[in-house]
Structure formats: C-alpha cells, structure tokens
Structure 1
C-alpha cells in the first residue's frame, strides 16, 4: 500500500496526492474521499492493510512529511476505530527517517517488535487478555557442510582464524534469509575453502539457548552431508587458518576436533559402512498452505509404497 500522509505538510502535498494516501477523511469532515480540500488537522484515520489473523498494518513512507502531533491524534482515533471493529492487533512500520513518530506511538501503548537496517516495527495488542503476538528473531540458524569423499574416506575440515583454541571443525556459517539449508552449506563451504560440493542430506541438528554469539537468543546449528565436486583447497584468508582433507575414522576420534565435528564424523562413518539411509534426513518439497509457496520437509527416506503424490497430504 502507498505511504500515509498527514500533518503540517498536508496542504502542500494534498494536490499531489489526491487519493489521500495517509488519511481516510473522517465522516464528519466536509467533502469526501478524493476531494482537494484540506481536512481538519487530525480528523482522519490511518489507512492500513488487514491480515488473516485479525490485525491491521500501517506502513509509513520514508520521505513523507508528517507532523508528530497530528499523527498521534490520527493514530489514537484509528486505534479506537480498530478496537470497535474487533481488530486484535495493530502493526506500525516506521522507516528510520520517520523515527520521530516512534515516541507519539509509544505514548499510545505501542512497543517495539523488531527492527531492521532501515525500519522498525511496533505493535499494539488490541484483543482481550495478554498479548498473543509472536516474538521475533528468537533463533539464529547456522549450517555446516560435512563434505565427505566416499572414494578416499576423507572429509574436509578447517580451523578458524583468530580463535584462542584452533580445533578442526566443519566449514559453515549463518543461513541467509530465504536460503535453503543445503544451499547455505554449499555456499559456506565454497566461500571458506574454494571446494565445490552438492547437498545430499541433513545429518544432525543442534539446539542451544542463551547463545552469546546470537545476542543471547537461541541457536540452531545444522550439519549437512555434502558430496565434493572439486578437491583443491583455496582458503579464505579472512576466516580460515588451515584447511585439510582428513581421514574420517581418524577425525572421529581426534581430540583436536570440536565435539560436534567428531559426532558428525561418527555419523558419516556409520553411514559409509552400513548405508547412508541409516543416518540421512533427506528433503521433500511440498506446497505450503500459503498460496504459491513451497517448503522443505526433512526426514528419513520413506519406502516407495508409503509415498503419496505431491500435494496429496
């Protein structure tokens, strides 16, 4: 939706924005929607977008000229109208250039929900009882790539640069927004070592809480089994001190490797000897309930007789 407009600059902007992008004229104001007349200051309601959970979202424009006092009056009137309409929550998206509007919103009970590089999102619970709004950024997701060469029995490991204790570990890093886990593993391995690889399966998942490196939030760390497509190591000088292809059985018992690396090596050793179907969690792509979206579901491989056509679940 287009940004909302109001306040002291309304006269100058009104002729340019006759569709009243910020304020829906109050029923008591003269004229109607689209009239090229200045409505009384604060006489409008903020225009928002309804969501399927019974909430309403208002998005402010980064460059719109907004008067804080008039905005607060319009927001207060809008909150009253939303409550009367049975809305359960209000979401206010404020660009960083409109940060002056955060204080007026906070005075009406809005609180921070989350912030990104150039905007902050505030919320106000309008329903009965305690707020049931979901939290934000409770976890960070890290992914490691266990690149195992079945022909030689060797696995790719690195040592981080600038660590007080340099142990062998699997290359990896944080997953980017919108990035599948397997793609993160492949990308991180290449960025750190120059080795190209292909995703085969998910091996393990670690959950840890109050993680110092995650700003005190919870941390999810997943290990993926990758198949190498190249073998020459070209280390990233900023991240890695050393890199090597080590014998898998040796690494599984090496005290010079991190505990999670030794455990991943033992899983790979078991899978290599007994069949990777014993340890692999493979991924299926299924349609999500949100129209047009898909999701990845990781699990042990199902026998063919238990499978159903995609979308029939």
Structure 2
C-alpha cells in the first residue's frame, strides 16, 4: 500500500473539507492508515473541519471514523455524515443539523364561505382540522398546501395568500415545528376523501367552525385571523423573485393591503428583479 496516498476531498469556503465515500472509497482494511495520513496532512494545511459523507454501501467506514474522533452529524436514507473539528486553536463553531420541521395547513374557503375540514383516522381524540401535512424537501409552501389538499380530499386549489403560522418546540423527533396556514381557493367542489388517512371530510360554514367544540383553539384563532385580514383588506402575498446575488429563485412573502383601503400608498419593492428569470 502507498502510505503517501491521502484523500482529496472538496474544500469549502470555511476551510473545511468533505470526503465522499462514493467518490473515494477504499477498503476498510486500508482505511484507518490512509485516514491518519490524510488527517496529518490536513492539519498542516490548516483545514478546520472534516466532513465524511458515508454511503450506505460503505458503512464499514463508520467504526473507523468513530475511533478517529468523528461523530454523527446527520443522516439520510442512503448516507450518513460524520464530522470532526480539526482546528485546535479555535472553538468548534460547526452548525448543527436542521432542527425545524415545516408543515402546512390549507385554509380552503369556497364561494359559500364554507371551509374544507377533515378528521383524521388516527388521533388521541376526534377533532376537525385543516387538510395538510409536512413539506417535502425542495418543495414550495404553496405547492405543498395544494398537493396535500388534492391527496387528502381530491379538491383542486390555487394559492391566494398566507394566513398565519405558528412555531412550537419539542415536536416530532424533538425538533421544533413551524406550521404555515395557507389560504387556497378551490376550483372544484366534489370531495374524494383519502380513506387511508381520513375518517371524515366536509365543507363546514366558517361561523360553525369557529365555535365548534371539536375544533382546537389554535385553529379557531387561525380562522379569526383569516376573517380579520379579509375584513381589513390585508393579506400576506407571495412573489417569485430571481436574485442575481444568490443566483437562484426565491419566494418572498410580505404583507399587502387592498388599494381601496389604503389610499395613496405605493409599493416600495424594487421590481426590477421580480420575475426577471425566464424560468419563472
């Protein structure tokens, strides 16, 4: 074995280095000695942090990395990432993995002022709630709300505005949980309920929902926020924006006022970037 061989890895702007087993896999019998040689060289080169992305097919690396001071940082179905802080004269300032989960609740109101409500099959006690669920990785909040409504109730919808959101700690997997309430307009009315997830689904008058004994107080509050915003002509709108500094599309949510309610006010948004990307 050539003891001068070291892993290459990919350096980041924080003077950290990431090695992927998919790109640089070697057999575990040689892994320990080459890892030691690599660490010695990286310390001389001023590398501050080491990240090893270990594919599920190469888990024989895991115990070796653990013996050399690496700890688990995060996992996905097909890989685990282990990390070691290498800089001895600096405090470890590596960020933890994502600690928030993001969900959406769809506030779907039809022309009769009826709200689309569901009752889940599995619960601690029965209650009427909003259709919704967790946002998939890489999925927009608006798209997630539309998708969840379609999957659970068969209703087609389109985005109108954001209503509200809540933030709670110690939720699933001990993560914090951010739950966005998204106002959608239905383009169909006939319900096709997903029987795998739901026990019931119906259109319910908004006034009834706010006072219904089987509605949680937080959902009542969301309904009141919706009615107040509608009465005052205020909503949280969404704008798709391409920003050259980040070289990517972003969705910006901001408060908008009905022009009939706010006379003489003009938007201060610099519109030169809004929808400037032909892909939008």
Give me the TM-score of the superposition, normalised by structure 2.
0.88
Cα distance in 1, alignment partners of residues 244 and 97 from structure 2: 21
Cα distance in 2, alignment partners of residues 290 and 114 from structure 1: 29
Cα distance in 1, alignment partners of residues 165 and 104 from structure 2: 9
Aligned length, in residue pairs = 266
Aligned to 1:293: 248
Greater strand content: 2
Matched, 1:284 2:210: no
CA RMSD between the two structures = 2.0
Q: Which has the higher contact order (CA 8 A, sep 6+)?
A: 2
Query: Which secondary structure state, in structure 1, belongs to the residue aligned with residue 147 of structure 2?
Result: helix
Cα distance in 2, alignment partners of residues 290 and 234 from structure 1: 44
Asked if 1 retains the 8 angstrom alpha-carbon contact of 2:243 and 2:273, the reply is no
Asked if 2 retains the 8 angstrom alpha-carbon contact of 1:147 and 1:228, the reply is yes
Q: Structure 1 residue runs of 4+, over 4 Å off?
A: 288-291
Cα distance in 2, alignment partners of residues 252 and 231 from structure 1: 21
Aligned to 2:262: none
Aligned to 2:36: 76
Trace 1:195-214 onto structure 2 (pairs within 5 A).
Answer: 195-211=155-171, 214=172
Asked if 1 retains the 8 angstrom alpha-carbon contact of 2:7 and 2:24, the reply is no
Aligned to 2:215: 257
Tell me: CA distance 1:50–1:296, structure 2 relative to 1, closer, same or farther (3 Å).
Answer: same
**1:103-154 Cα shifts (integer Å, max 9, x gaps):** 11111111111111111111111233332111113111111100012x2111
Unaligned runs of 5+ in 2: 258-264, 275-280
Cα distance in 1, alignment partners of residues 222 and 125 from structure 2: 20
Q: Deviation of residue 273 (structure 1)?
A: 2.8
Q: Which has the larger radius of gyration?
A: 1
**1:16-41 Cα shifts (integer Å, max 9, x gaps):** xxxxxxxxxxxxxxxxxxxxxxxx34
Q: Deviation of residue 290 (structure 1)?
A: 6.6
Query: Which secondary structure state, in structure 1, belongs to the residue aligned with residue 190 of structure 2?
Result: coil
Unaligned runs of 5+ in 1: 1-39
Tell me: CA distance 1:242–1:295, structure 2 relative to 1, closer, same or farther (3 Å).
Answer: same
